[in-house]
Structure 1
Amino acid sequence: MRLRTLLTAATLLALLLGGGLGCHGPSADASGRYPVDTTTIAPGQQLENAPGWYRDAVVYHIWVKAFADGVYQDGIGDLPGIQSKLDYLQSLGVNALWLSPIFECGYKGDNMHGYDTTDYYAVNDRFGTRADLKSLIDAVHARGMRILFDFVPNHTSTLHPWFTNSATRDTWYLWQPAPPAGWGYPWGGGTSTDVWKPGASGCFYTAFGVTSLADLNWYNPAVQTELRKVEVYWLDRGFDGMRVDAVRYLCESGPGQGADQPDTHVQLQAFRSLMDEYDTGDLHPHPGGDPAKHSSKAMIAEAWTNDASGVAPYYGNGANEFHMCLDFSAPWAIYNTISKGDATQVTSLWDYEQRTYPAGYQTATFDSNHDNLISRPGTQYGGDRAEVILAEALNLLSPGTPILYYGNEVGMAGQSGSDINLRQPMDWSQAALQATQPDSILSWCRYLIQARKAYPSLRGGYATLATDAGTGKALAYLRSAGTERVLVVANLTTAPLTFTVTGLAAQGVPAGGPVQAVLGDLQGGSTVSGDTCTIASLPPHGLRVLYLAGSGFQGTIHGDLH
């Protein structure tokens, strides 16, 4: 079964929002089957070199199947559908797109996810063609935006030719005559029979315990060579980087040693080394053509741990592994801050990362995604608009690079527990409605992104500040860049709150200077008095962003949430 067909009304609204659905690829034939893709994709357009672009990015995470149907009119989102929504995405303010897996996969039922790759070089036929992909990449770049693909190097589908062909099956995957003793899931729990499954050559290893997935043997040089070739192939064709799936499990060296192995880091550093060649322009010839030189790329790690300390190794020395790591601690830290009225839930995480991660690190923060980590904010906060907006603010104004999961900007519902609940069709009717409402979740996401893009300090340094209201009632932190200082404050209570922020002098805020509102109203507290600033009558679960020092104030974007 496929995802439900979008309602006619929603489709009409999508036309208004996105400039039409458009058919850029071949239509399905009369029998309803999807045609074979006979197009090719040559090395493509590269954006000019911009080292560190990912630090200034706001990334929009698209679950391709659920976003917008633009090619077959079958209720399945696709690449032309994404292209038809670039006006919407640019108006939102995001400047980088991360696509869920788009390559050919084994399972194409109701919850098609794409992490079961059957061909790393072919576009999933439900999503269009290679020509559609080239068109999308070029259209994204024409707007000065960037685009990343989802790379799955740990495992393939058992339907992949590498697994079905005995010439590669026996050495490209991990085999034992019978389930060896002492094994279990690499994140803990389980037994040997959970991860070793019967197959044509004995029992094969599958870290996720799924018979349709088989882990690649990363101790085989041929596997290493081929997956690096995949990386280069798609970077050459214009992708600006990649999110790398399940990086903790690449290499496994024995029972209890299925995650976070030293050999894994060797392989990840090789991925990074190839990526760095695009920065320097010192490129060796690649199959298919020589890509444009000096085109910066970035890679994001899915190093999913429940402890922020487990992420640190995936930055390497800060310059030789991942540019960014997904911050799986952030969604619950944000939720606990709001639901428990405890600012330290999030500030202690940000302080820990700043204190312990290597120089050069950059977290990739988010408040929900496609996995069963947490419900979408629209559900997690019980539909409370102010709390959802505050959650989005703590994501979009965090010290990291924010990732916005499609639909969260309109408060879409999605209950964790069954991941298909988190992968439902984009609610374009809500997007159309909220675009007309100045205090909607969508409008506030636009304001927050506008502020982040306009003020370098909101992409710069971070410092937690104290308040006389206590961490149970108020949140305060300072962002800085050069001489610019911007204060972010939030009310964690259900009543209006007046409080004083302290510790400004130590962060380079001059005494006696004016306070100017980037977001929110000024109701008293119009100057910095010595070391302090008073925040007056901040609404329940309200947020203000205040300009305290610098010469780049650009005016108030919007007042308090009403």
Structure 2
Amino acid sequence: MKKFFLSVILLVSLFSCSSLFAATAIKKVAPAFWWAGMKNPELQVMLYGEHIASAEVSISSKDIMLQEVVKQENPNYLLLYMNISEAAPQKFEIILKQGKKQTVVPYELKQRRPSASEVEGFNSSDVLYLIMPDRFANGDVSNDIIPGMLEAKVDRNDPFARHGGDLKGIENQLDYIANLGVTSIWLNPIQENDMKEGSYHGYAITDYYQVDRRFGSNEEFRSLVQQAHNKGLKVVMDMIFNHCGDQNYLFKDMPSKDWFNFKGNYVQTTFKTATPSDPYASDYAKKIVVDGWFSECMPDFNQRNRHVATYLIQSSIWWIEYAGINGIRQDTHPYADFNMMSDWCKAVTEEYPNFNIVGETWIGSNVLVSYWQKDSKVAAPKNSYLRTVMDFPLMDQMNNAFDEETNDWNGGLYRLFDYLSQDIVYADPMNLLIFLDNHDTSRFYRSEAATQNLDRYKQALTFLLTTRGIPQIYYGTEILMAADKANGDGLLRCDFPGGWQNDTRNCFDATNRTAQQYEAFSFLQKLLQWRKGNEVIAKGKLKHFSPNKGVYVYERKYGDQSVAVFLNGNNREQTINLNEYQEILPASSAHNVLTGETVKLEKEWTLPSRGILILSF
């Protein structure tokens, strides 16, 4: 019996000693790895684990300097700032000592890809094809439901539920996308959205370094980008810095309350995005619109906190370096802190000079949109360093212009002439993202019969693809997908027919399209393929004429090449005198882009009702 008690005491003692030396569980390391040879010598590594703040921190590398160890209010976080300016690619250890306990965190600085910093961004030579991944195509049904994730259902009958689209589905349709003639795909957010409901749209991120597992893995996203590149397609990634999802560990277990605005307490934004640029706005109004939350389930980051700013900036650079993406679309840009977002744009540009970022600037005035573009005279001396902004006012004009008959002084196509004549407010009109619709608006081809008109459709796409700027097309536009915002955002994001195995029609296959869909697709494809690599449209100067007899005429000219576009804004045929346009008609004959014929240019030309003429010289 005595020996038994001695054995028990010995076992208890051994267990107690082992617990003293047990490693602390590290739940998150962000970023999980980095790269040697980056232009910015500073690296922030966030460690998240139970009561790690009391640890003494050291690193095993001889050529990496641990500059700063920052503790937060929450003892579960440590922020390490390292100088890696002299570091070669290597694996090293981050060592945490707490008394006799020691936790070793392996870390790696990887070798950069050759010419990684020379990634080519999107520009006015491109046309972006906007895809909501959950609604485009389901290529892997095994990831539809992931055990343990909060929204564990797929219901295609519910417009606000997950439908099962994924990265594999997009990968399977890359040939379709490339054959259409677009040059870039823009994906709505693919980062983890482990939310209880509404997670399909992706705008409530719960892990900035992880692809949502219902879409695929980080490796599968990188593979998708590489395959897109192989087919001549660029990839733009949607990002959200203004807010995250309330199930993000950074909010559920906040490093400190100043990581979020209003100390992590819900205060609703006013959505009045004109306020930040309003010279007369009160301090209170500015604070509410910028610091207020987008919704109660989307807490608003405090980007004035330097640790928050660095965390967000690094996350974007990590994805550029890791996956080789060509651009970023930044959600709700005016809702975030101006100075931090400016610093972010500069940081990305310094690391990747040819990269491009487009900010969502949903404001109804071209003057107010221009405030957010790089080198804006309106914003000076402040500078956003944001190259591309979204031209929402032009979207509004286009959604009205092609419904109305054109008066030479107002309405119809005069709207477009009048709006473009105000481009002096923009620092760079060619770097405006232009679009007829997107995932937040009614589709241009809507349900009501008045808008189901192919003449309207063709004129709008002709203008979109031949005017200044960077065009974006919403998936399904090519097959006349229709939806009205009044019926809810979920229906704006309908499934592409044929993206699921049990779909009754597969519109990825031309043989399954209706006659009207076939005509629309063929028209758009012809324009897109003609535009691809066309320097006149990508780089050419724009000259336009005030509508005469309801006909809007403009030219794109680059070097000794030019294109002249004639749009009849009347619901009847119209004959125009070509003498008025001689300065943009350098020859007596031209190539008719839409018919492929060579046409002779006499004194007059008759355009049919809502007719289009595109002449290439």
TM-score (norm. length: structure 2): 0.67
Deviations 1:283-305 (A, max 9, x none): xxxxxxxxxxxxx3111110110
Name the CA shift for 1:184/1:49 in 2 (closer, same or farther; >3 Å). Answer: closer
Larger CA deviation: 513-522 vs 132-141: 513-522
For residues 25-424 of structure 1, what are the structure 2 equivalents within 5 Å? 49=118, 53-72=122-141, 74=144, 75-107=163-195, 109=197, 112-168=200-256, 170-175=257-262, 184-187=270-273, 206-208=292-294, 210-237=295-322, 238-251=324-337, 264=338, 266-279=339-352, 296-317=354-375, 321-341=385-405, 342-353=412-423, 355-359=424-428, 362-371=431-440, 373-379=441-447, 382-417=451-486, 418-424=488-494
Asked if 2 retains the 8 angstrom alpha-carbon contact of 1:377 and 1:391, the reply is no
* Secondary structure, counterpart of 1:268 in structure 2: helix
8 Å CA contact retained: 2:239, 2:331: yes
Q: Aligned to 1:60, what secondary structure does the other structure show?
A: strand
Q: Which residue of 2 aligns with 1:425?
A: 495
Contact 2:189 2:202 in 1 (8 A): yes
SS of 1:403's partner is strand
* Residues 135-189 of structure 1: CA deviation (Å, up to 9, x unaligned): 1011011122210110100011111111111433x01001269899x98444489
Cα distance in structure 1, aligned partners of 2:184 and 2:200: 24
- 5+ residue gaps, structure 1, are 1-39, 198-203, 252-263, 281-295, 550-562
Q: CA deviation at 1:522?
A: 6.9
Aligned AA (1:310):
L
Residue among 493, 512, 534 paired with 1:455: 534
Q: How many angstroms apart in 1 are the aligned matches of 2:425 and 2:191?
A: 37
Distance 1:407 1:413, change over 3 A: same
Q: What letter is aligned with 1:394?
A: F
**Change in 2 beyond 3 A, CA 1:113/1:335:** same
Deviation at 1:337, TM superposition (A): 1.4
- SS of equivalent residue, structure 1 residue 275: helix
Aligned to 1:258: none
Specify whether residues 310 and 434 from structure 1 end up closer, same or farther in structure 2 by C-alpha distance, changes over 3 A only: farther
Distance in 1, Cα, partners of 2:597 & 2:374 = 44
State the match for 2:92 in structure 1.
Answer: none
CA contact (8 A) 1:183 1:195 kept: no
Length-normalised TM-score, structure 1: 0.74
Please state how far the C-alpha of 1:412 moved relative to its aligned partner. 0.3
Task: Give, as a single letter, the amino acid of the residue that structure 2 aligns with 1:447.
Answer: K
CA distance in 2 between counterparts of 1:331 and 1:211 reads 29
Residue 480 of structure 1 is matched in structure 2 by 557
CA gap of 1:502–1:82, structure 2 versus 1, over 3 A, is farther
Q: Give the 3 Å change call, closer, same or farther, for CA 171–454 of structure 1 in structure 2.
A: closer
Greater CA drift, 335-344 or 147-156: 335-344
What residue identity is the alignment partner of 1:113?
A: H
CA distance in structure 2 between the partners assigned to 1:183 and 1:89 by the alignment:
38
CA distance in 1: counterparts of 2:455 and 2:116, whole angstroms: 38
Secondary structure at the counterpart of residue 54 of structure 1: coil
Are 2:592 and 1:517 aligned? yes
Answer whether contact 2:485 2:492 (CA < 8 A) is retained.
yes
Contact in 2 for aligned 1:45/1:138 (Cα 8 Å):
no
Q: Deviations over 1:497-555 (max 9, x none)?
A: 32235654555x43x5323211248797x2376xxxx332x2322212112x3xxxxxx
Number of matched pairs: 457
Of 416, 421, 443 in structure 1, the residue corresponding to residue 522 of structure 2 is 443
In structure 2, what is the Cα distance between the partners aligned to 1:177 and 1:321?
29
Structure 1 407/65 Cα, relative in aligned 2: closer, same or farther at 3 Å? same
Identity %: 23
Superposed counterparts of 1:492-503, under 5 Å: 492-501=569-578, 503=580
Q: CA deviation at 1:51?
A: 6.1
SS in 2 for 1:364: strand
Find out whether 1:527 has 2:604 as its counterpart: no
Match of 2:14 in 1: none
Query: 2:556 is matched by which residue type in structure 1?
Result: R
The 1-side partners of 2:113 and 2:218 are apart by: 12
Query: Shift of the alpha carbon at 1:494?
Result: 2.3
| Structure 2 letter corresponding to 1:375 | R
Residues 455 and 248 from structure 1, CA distance in 2 versus in 1: closer, same or farther, beyond 3 angstroms?
A: same
- Quote how far apart the aligned CAs of 1:312 are: 0.9
The CA RMSD measured in Å over matched residues stands at: 3.4
8 Å contact kept, 1:179–1:196: no
